[in-house]
Amino acid sequence: MTPPAVIFHHAIISKISILTVDNPIMTTTNFVLDTFLRYLQLNFDLIKSKKMGNQLENKIVIVTGASKGIGAGIAKQMGAAGAKVVVNYASSKSDADAVVNEIMQAGGTAIALQGDMSKQADVKALFQQTLQSFGRLDALVNNAGIYEFALLEHFSEDSYRRIFDINVLGILLTSQEAVKAFGDHGGSIINISSYAGNRPDPYSLVYGASKGAVNSITTSLSQELGSKQIRVNAIQPGGVLTEGVQKFGATAESEPVKQMISKSALGRMATPADIGKMAVFLASDQSAIVTGQFIEVSGGYK
C-alpha cells in the first residue's frame, strides 16, 4: 500500500506543476514543498519502523526467576520490545528454554542461564556470563522470589530464611553486581515487590515482611545510585493468576480468585504480560527521569 505521505506528495506536486511553467516563484515554491514532503516521508518511514517493538532495541536485560509466571511474562515482553534477554532460572531448565524459544521464534534474542540468586557465587557467574555473551548490561529485573503463606502459629525459622534469602538477600547481591556491569552509561534496576509489602494479609506475615524490605531497598538504592545514572524502581503486582497460584488449586472460577477479582476496580486479575509491559517502560528511555517509585499493577486492587 502506498504510504499517505507519498500520495499527498504526488497529489500536491501534480497540481503545482501546472502552475510552475516559466514561473520562478512557483518553481521555488515547488522545490520547497517537495523538500518538505520528502522530509515528511522520511519521518513517516521512521515512525513506521520505530514500532512499539523497538523501544528496547540494543538493550541487554537480565530477568531473574524468569522460567515461569511473572518472570516469564516479563522476559517475553522485554524480548518483544527488542531487548536481548537473559532468562535466569534456578532449577527449571526446560521451562527457561521454552521461554527462550518463544522469544526467539518471535524474532528476538535470548539465552537461559542457571543460578540461585541467594548464592553470591551463582550471582557473580550470572553477570560474568551475561557480559561475555553480550558485552554490556542495561537493565536488571529482580523477579526471583518465593512465597509461603502461613499464620504466626505455623511460622518457622527455616521458612523465614528461605524467603528472606531469595526475596531480600538475592536483590542485594544482584544489585551489587549490576552496578558494576552497568558502567558509566548507567542503567535501570526494577524490583518486583508486591502490594503485600504495604498492606499484607494476615497469612502473608513473612512474605509481606520480605516485600516491605524490598520497598526499603528500592528507596535506599534509588538515592545512593542516582549519581551514577542508575534508576531503581519497584513494581507492586496485585493478584496475578500464574502457575504458582494455580498449583494451590486456584482457577479463574475458584472462590479465592473470585474474591480477589471482586477487589479489583477493573474487575480482573493482572496477567504476567501486564507486569511485563510496566517493566518494559521502566527499562526504557521513556522513564529516564523516573526513580525511587513504586508502581502498583493490580487493576486498582483494594
pLDDT in tens, 5-29: 444 444 444 444 444 455 555 555 5
Residue 272: band (very low, low, confident or very high) from pLDDT cuts 50, 70, 90: very high
Close Cβ partners of 45 (under 8 Å, ≥ 6 residues apart): 3
| Rounded Cα gap, residues 126 and 63, in angstroms | 11
Close Cβ partners of 216 (under 8 Å, ≥ 6 residues apart): none
Residue that wins the pLDDT comparison between 251 and 208:
208
For 242, other C-beta atoms within 10 Å of its C-beta total 21
For 34, other C-beta atoms within 10 Å of its C-beta total 14
Buried (b) or exposed (e) across 48-71, using 16+ Cβ within 10 A? eeeeeeebbeebbbbbbbbbbbbb
- Catalytic residue list: 207
CB 230 within 8 A of CB 186: yes
**Alpha helix (H) ranges present in the chain?**
4-17, 24-49, 69-80, 93-105, 120-134, 157-164, 170-182, 205-225, 243-246, 255-262, 272-283
Residue 173: band (very low, low, confident or very high) from pLDDT cuts 50, 70, 90: very high
Domain borders along the chain are: 4-49, 53-297
Domain at 53-297: CATH code: 3.40.50.720
What sign has the CA pseudo-torsion 149, 199, 261, 70?
negative
Task: Supply the mean pLDDT for the chain.
Answer: 85
Interval 247-263: pLDDT, tens: 656 666 677 677 777 77
| Rounded Cα gap, residues 47 and 240, in angstroms | 34
What percent of the chain lies above the pLDDT cut of 70?
A: 78
Instruction: Give 185-196 as a 3 state SS string.
Output: HCEEEEEECCHH
